[in-house]
Amino acid sequence: MSVKTYRHTTVKDALRAVREDMGPEALVLATRMVAARGWRGWVGMREVQVTAASAPAAVRAAVPERRPADTPPPTRTARSARGGLVARLLASGLDRAMAERVAASASHAERRAASLPVLRRLLASQLEALAAGDEPYARVEVFVGPPGVGKTTTIAKIAARERATRGRTLGLVGADGFRTGAVEQLRIYASVIGAPFRVARTVEELDKALAAGRHSLLVDTAGRSPRDGGLRDLRRLLGGRRGVRTHLVMAADTSARTARRLLDAYQDVRPDRIVIAKLDEAESVAPLLAVIADCGIPVSYLTTGQQVPEDFDRATPAALAGALLRDDEWEAAVAAC
């Protein structure tokens, strides 16, 4: 079996080069966006790198296709439409397992058309279990995560959006322990939004704050290390309480390894949801989403910039698919094919 890589500026050119060199039976094994060679790479330009194999039988044995025993084997055109679809999904950052699943769920016509709306719909249906979507608020929504990841800003966005679009009031609680300055940012947001605000500096104060008022509460916590006392207190306080939902906020460009470490570090507070923050700064959210899919914790919100309240969305299946496909890059790839 011969395996080769091909680098071109578009997916279409790379796939054409594979077919010309290895014939129509060639199988695409991997597609990545990489830095362009020479000066083009130095100025940040990128190109598509396709790895393909020329021995289909051997490769197909390594990547088995699941199909019912009585289904006839796919024709050459069907195989190449599926391979092309997988290649394009890989080029937009999806991992191979997800790309294969999406391609397998597509009808022959969908594989051939492979327009952006069709792809978004197919991918969205694969992501349904991961999207918490438009669920009602719990009595207490707690946000935890490393410092600077976007907890306070996300809370302000949620409260401000609810106020502006539905006239609904959510209470804000600053439970940022002992750092005096830390709760001030939330206090300012609360006064601009017109939301009730309480500070809780001790476990007892937090206990009282959580019981007070009739509104659902968004609780901002200290962005400190999970090993220190603040989180231990929080865990103790929330452990026995009903109607509490805990969101772990992670940056969209978190590597798979760091994501697993964070999930491990915060496992004692048992996150029920994950907020994917700073999508605007991430090259690809695919590595983080693969870890989230593994641990099975649904995503509640996606944040996409610093503007309050504009830059965030509920994590619906369609919004997650859009984040994964990076619509702008996808448009370019489709236009070129």
**How would you classify residue 280: left for phi > 0, otherwise alpha for psi between -120 and 50, otherwise beta?**
alpha
Give the contact letters, 153-182, x = binds to ligand GDP (CB under 6 A), - = no: x-----------------------------
287 touches which of Mg ion, ligand GDP, none (CB within 5 to 8 A by kind)? none
Site for Mg ion in 128-147 (CB under 5 A): none
Give the contact letters, 202-231, x = binds to ligand GDP (CB under 6 A), - = no: ---------------------x--------
Q: Does 274 bind ligand GDP (CB under 6 A)?
A: no
Stretch that binds ligand GDP, among 52-60, 130-138, 147-155, 231-239 (CB under 6 A): 147-155
Strand order in the sheet with 217-221: 197-199, 171-175, 217-221, 140-144, 244-251, 273-277, 299-303, 312-314
| β-bridge partners, 30 | 51
Could you identify the residue written with the tokens 């605007």? 280
125-153: b or e for each residue (b if 16 or more CB lie within 10 Å)?
ebbeebbbeeeebbebbbbbbbeebbbbb
Could you identify the residue written with the tokens 């084997």? 73
What is the nearest approach in angstroms of Mg ion to the Cβ of residue 222? 8
Which listed residue (304, 316, 317, 324) binds ligand GDP by CB under 6 A?
Answer: 304
**How would you classify residue 314: left for phi > 0, otherwise alpha for psi between -120 and 50, otherwise beta?**
beta
Q: Does 152 bind Mg ion (CB under 5 A)?
A: yes
Distance CA 121, CA 35 (A): 30
Stretch that binds ligand GDP, among 4-12, 59-67, 150-158, 259-267 (CB under 6 A): 150-158
| β-bridge partners, 246 | 142
65 touches which of ligand GDP, Mg ion, none (CB within 5 to 8 A by kind)? none
Segment (H or E) for 31: strand 27-35
Which listed residue (31, 80, 92, 152) binds ligand GDP by CB under 6 A?
Answer: 152
Q: E strands along 114-156, which residues?
A: 140-144
What is the nearest approach in angstroms of ligand GDP to the Cβ of residue 334? 27
Distance CA 142, CA 243 (A): 11
Which listed residue (278, 289, 292, 322) binds ligand GDP by CB under 6 A?
Answer: 278
Q: Does 93 bind ligand GDP (CB under 6 A)?
A: no
Which listed residue (150, 287, 317, 322) binds ligand GDP by CB under 6 A?
Answer: 150
Binding site for ligand GDP (CB under 6 A): 145, 147-153, 223, 277-278, 280-281, 303-306, 311
